[in-house]
């Protein structure tokens, strides 16, 4: 909107852009409801990891499965959020390649509206995935050690993280030709970031170089923050680090994503 | 700006890496008329439509739609246009009704009005029964029709139709023609690209022929026909043995040697003077010859099209090579 230089240009106000964004977010949610299997992909994988790690390695790592559960659930919440945030890139890429964006772009709506819509719909996705994960974890024996009020705070933190991290997926989604490539490329990024962290094992057990990375890995910092919030323990330290990462990811990838978005749609 | 020209384009150029899709195209579509854009595959029709619909930026030249500059005021352009692209651009996962309602909402219609408009358009395109089904279950023709309906939600003043009837059955094609005529009667302007010359003949007030990114001809359908082929006189005698005699008469009248098609027992000669038809009738009568067919005809638009864009005629043929 702001890039249109000439005076007589018809403009779309922020309120209207947001309203159109919400309309398109509703479309995104409707699509989630119609294709629950797509959501299942992002939900089931972390749950599989949860079950596998708890019963396979839990005893070996933490002595018994129930204390391992306390360690691993907050970490898998972070992993779930990261995985769910890939979907926004896939959804946008699909819309572009299927021509749906051409339809939107021929309408007098803000250029940002489809993007706002996709990202807002993503929030619903994070929420559903995290709730399912917590329900399964609770059935397996996970217990919040602080207070129930910590759950919405943890959820909000994950949403904020998802909102920052999703710009990487948006960027990749706007650069590559088809939806499958978005998935593949994001996996290359996500797997080392997820596993090179303290989600599954405390970093003290790692070789020096890996420990050094794991200790500054945003996934570790977020997992530690959630552990503090949900299980009890220090919050401020890891939270600060996590927020710094989120700000950095936003600062780098939001402009990149916006540039790629504009270019793809130019 | 000028109110009676709805779409005006000057010198549009669009280059891709090694292809020049548009090499300087001028267009002018008066308000309330239909411009038919014809051209072989790759001529640049879709590129022109996308530029005029603000989906693509031209490398050079400028264009206005209802006075809105496509580059400087794209939102203004979008608020007056409806676009049916060459490929359907609807959401496969949503139903027909949901797609149309979504567009209505994005065009700021209240919820109830958006639903009502969706129902009205589904009805108009005979999709009411399928309105509640996801688009991915639609046939190609149904998709096309829904896409067309989607471009009409906002009652656009200017409609772009990029091959709107490709893949439609004759009934659905007629329906689309009806809709376009109806819209134009109400004052809308349409730019229509098509591969069906009959469609251009039927709907378009003027026809522009594209080839290799340039306008190679422009005018009313009958003007183009006259310009390209001129008129011909065709005679098919009832009795085949009269062919020789008729050939002689025809040659005498037109001063040209007629083309003779022995299989069809048809003689064709170019004429410049349409009154020759009555002379021909008289001469045949005097000679006591009856004819199954006797007509003065303009070339078909297909012939015009081939003459204007006939690659085969202008490009040297591949030298034949022996395989051994
Ligand atoms: N995105 C693109 N990248 C590269 N070349 C392109 C692109 N889009 C179009 N072209 C080229 O530009 C030329 C014109 O294409 P265009 O789609 O406008 O043709 P058309 O007249 O619509 O053809 P058709 O009848 O097949 O739809 C073609 O040579 C095409 O290959
Ligand atoms: Mg085309």
> pLDDT digits over B238-258, tens only?
888 888 888 998 888 888 888
Decide whether any atom of ligand 1 lies within 6 Å of the B314 Cβ.
no
For chain A, the residues whose C-beta falls within 8 A of a C-beta of chain B are: 4-6, 8-12, 16, 20, 23-24, 27, 30-31, 34-35, 95, 98-109, 113, 266
Range of the structural domain that residue A163 is part of: 18-265
Query: Ligand 2 centroid to B290 CA: how many Å?
Result: 48
pLDDT of residue A259: 93
Cross-chain residue pair B93–A266, CB shorter than 8 Å: no
Tell me what the mean pLDDT of segment B6-15 comes to. Answer: 96
pLDDT of residue A1: 44
B104 contacts: CB under 8 Å, gap ≥ 6:
B113, B114, B115, B117, B118, B153
Tell me what the mean pLDDT of segment A170-183 comes to. Answer: 91
d(CA A25, CA A119): 8
Decide whether any atom of ligand 1 lies within 6 Å of the B47 Cβ.
yes
Per-residue tokens: A146:
């602080």
Give domain status of residue B83, yes or no: yes
Give domain status of residue A9, yes or no: no
Give domain status of residue B313, yes or no: no
User: Among positive and negative, which fits the CA dihedral B55, B60, B61, B62?
Assistant: positive
Given a contact cutoff of 8 angstroms between Cβ atoms, the answer to whether B171 and B125 are in contact is no
Mean pLDDT of chain B: 87
Poorest-confidence range of A205-214, B91-100, B270-279? B270-279
Query: Ligand 2 centroid to B50 CA: how many Å?
Result: 10
Show which of B172, B202, B225 is a domain's final residue.
Answer: B225
Q: Are residues B195 and B239 in the same domain?
A: no
Q: Are residues B117 and B148 in the same domain?
A: yes
Decide whether any atom of ligand 1 lies within 6 Å of the B43 Cβ.
yes
Q: Are residues B161 and B262 in the same domain?
A: no
Q: Are residues B9 and B157 in the same domain?
A: yes
Q: What is the CA radius of gyration of chain B?
A: 25
Q: What is the ipTM of this complex?
A: 0.85
pLDDT of residue B2: 52
Identify the CA nearest to B194 among candidates B212, B205, B207: B207
Cross-chain residue pair A11–B68, CB shorter than 8 Å: no
Residues in chain A closer than 8 A to B91 (CB atoms): 27, 31, 95, 98, 100
| DSSP symbol at B241 | G
Shortest CB distance from A23 goes to which of B72, B79, B106? B106
Give domain status of residue B31, yes or no: yes
Q: Are residues B154 and B12 in the same domain?
A: yes
**pLDDT confidence band for B316 (50 / 70 / 90):** very low
Give the 3-state secondary structure of residue A25. helix
Number of domains in chain A: 1
Q: Are residues B106 and B162 in the same domain?
A: yes
Shortest CB distance from B75 goes to which of A100, A103, A108? A108
Q: Are residues B10 and B126 in the same domain?
A: yes
Identify the residue whose C-alpha is closest to ligand 1 atom 12.
B21
Q: Are residues B57 and B118 in the same domain?
A: yes
Poorest-confidence range of A62-76, A121-135, B74-88, B224-238? B224-238
Show which of B225, B240, B260 is a domain's final residue.
Answer: B225
Number of domains in chain B: 2
Give domain status of residue A185, yes or no: yes
Q: pLDDT higher for A157 or B197?
A: A157
Range of the structural domain that residue B264 is part of: 231-297
Given a contact cutoff of 8 angstroms between Cβ atoms, the answer to whether B296 and B231 are in contact is yes
Give domain status of residue B286, yes or no: yes
B302 contacts: CB under 8 Å, gap ≥ 6:
B197
Q: Are residues B242 and B221 in the same domain?
A: no
Q: Are residues B152 and B180 in the same domain?
A: yes
Query: Ligand 2 centroid to B194 CA: how many Å?
Result: 9
Q: Are residues B275 and B188 in the same domain?
A: no
Q: Is the pLDDT confidence value at A131 over 50?
A: yes
Q: Are residues B104 and B244 in the same domain?
A: no
Query: Ligand 2 centroid to B37 CA: how many Å?
Result: 10
Q: Is the pLDDT confidence value at A256 over 70?
A: yes
Residues in chain A closer than 8 A to B76 (CB atoms): 8-10, 108
Q: Is the pLDDT confidence value at A5 over 90?
A: no
Give domain status of residue B204, yes or no: yes
Query: Looking at chain A, which residue has its C-alpha nearest residue B53?
Result: A106
| DSSP symbol at B236 | E
């Amino acid at each position: 909107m702001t890039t249109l230089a000439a005076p007589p240009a018809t403009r779309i106000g922020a309120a209207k852009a947001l309203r159109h964004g919400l309309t398109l977010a509703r479309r995104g949610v409707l699509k989630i409801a119609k294709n629950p299997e797509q959501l299942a992909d992002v939900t089931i994988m972390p749950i599989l990891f949860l079950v596998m790690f708890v019963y396979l390695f839990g005893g070996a790592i933490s002595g018994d499965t129930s204390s391992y559960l306390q360690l691993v659930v907050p970490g898998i919440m972070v992993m779930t959020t990261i995985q769910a945030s890939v979907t926004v890139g896939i959804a946008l890429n699909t819309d572009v390649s299927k021509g749906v964006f051409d339809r939107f772009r021929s309408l007098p709506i803000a250029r940002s509206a489809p993007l706002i819509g996709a990202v807002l719909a993503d929030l619903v996705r994070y929420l559903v995935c995290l709730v399912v994960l917590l329900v399964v974890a609770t059935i397996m024996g996970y217990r919040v050690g602080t207070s129930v009020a910590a759950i919405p705070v943890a959820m909000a933190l994950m949403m904020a993280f998802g909102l920052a991290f999703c710009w990487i997926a948006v960027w990749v989604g706007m650069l590559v030709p088809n939806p499958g490539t978005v998935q593949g490329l994001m996996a290359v990024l996500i797997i080392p970031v997820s596993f090179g962290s303290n989600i599954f094992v405390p970093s003290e057990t790692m070789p020096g170089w890996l420990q050094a990375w794991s200790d500054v890995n945003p996934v570790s910092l977020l997992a530690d923050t959630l552990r503090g919030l949900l299980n009890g323990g220090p919050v401020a330290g890891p939270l600060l680090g996590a927020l710094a990462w989120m700000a950095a990811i936003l600062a780098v990838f939001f402009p990149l994503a916006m540039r790629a978005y504009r270019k793809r749609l130019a | 700006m000028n109110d009676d020209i709805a779409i005006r384009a000057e010198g549009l150029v669009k280059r891709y890496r090694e292809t020049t899709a548009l090499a300087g195209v001028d267009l002018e579509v008066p308000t309330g008329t239909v411009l038919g854009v014809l051209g072989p595959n790759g001529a640049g029709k879709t590129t022109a439509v996308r530029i005029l619909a603000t989906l693509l930026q031209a490398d050079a030249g400028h264009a206005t739609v209802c006075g809105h500059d496509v580059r400087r005021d794209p939102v203004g352009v979008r608020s007056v246009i409806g676009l049916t692209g060459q490929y359907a651009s609807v959401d496969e996962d949503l139903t027909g009704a949901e797609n149309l309602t979504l567009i209505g909402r994005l065009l700021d219609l209240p919820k109830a009005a958006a639903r009502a408009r969706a129902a009205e358009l589904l009805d108009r395109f005979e999709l009411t029964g399928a309105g509640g089904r996801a688009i991915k279950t639609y046939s190609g023709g149904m998709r096309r029709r829904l896409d067309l309906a989607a471009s009409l939600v906002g009652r656009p003043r200017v409609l772009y139709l990029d091959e709107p009837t490709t893949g439609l059955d004759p009934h659905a094609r007629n329906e689309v023609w009806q809709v376009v005529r109806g819209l134009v009667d109400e004052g809308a302007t349409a730019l229509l690209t098509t591969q069906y010359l009959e469609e251009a003949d039927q709907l378009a007030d003027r026809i522009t022929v594209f080839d290799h990114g340039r306008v190679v001809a422009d005018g009313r359908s009958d003007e183009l026909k006259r310009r390209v082929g001129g008129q011909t006189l065709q005679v098919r005698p009832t009795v085949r043995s009269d062919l020789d005699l008729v050939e002689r008469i025809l040659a005498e009248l037109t001063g040209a040697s007629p083309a003779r098609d022995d299989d069809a027992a048809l003689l064709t000669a170019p004429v410049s003077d349409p009154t020759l038809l009555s002379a021909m009738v008289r001469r045949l009568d005097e000679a006591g010859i009856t004819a199954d067919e006797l007509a003065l005809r303009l070339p078909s638009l297909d012939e015009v099209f081939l003459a204007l864009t006939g690659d085969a005629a202008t490009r040297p043929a591949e030298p034949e090579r022996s395989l051994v």
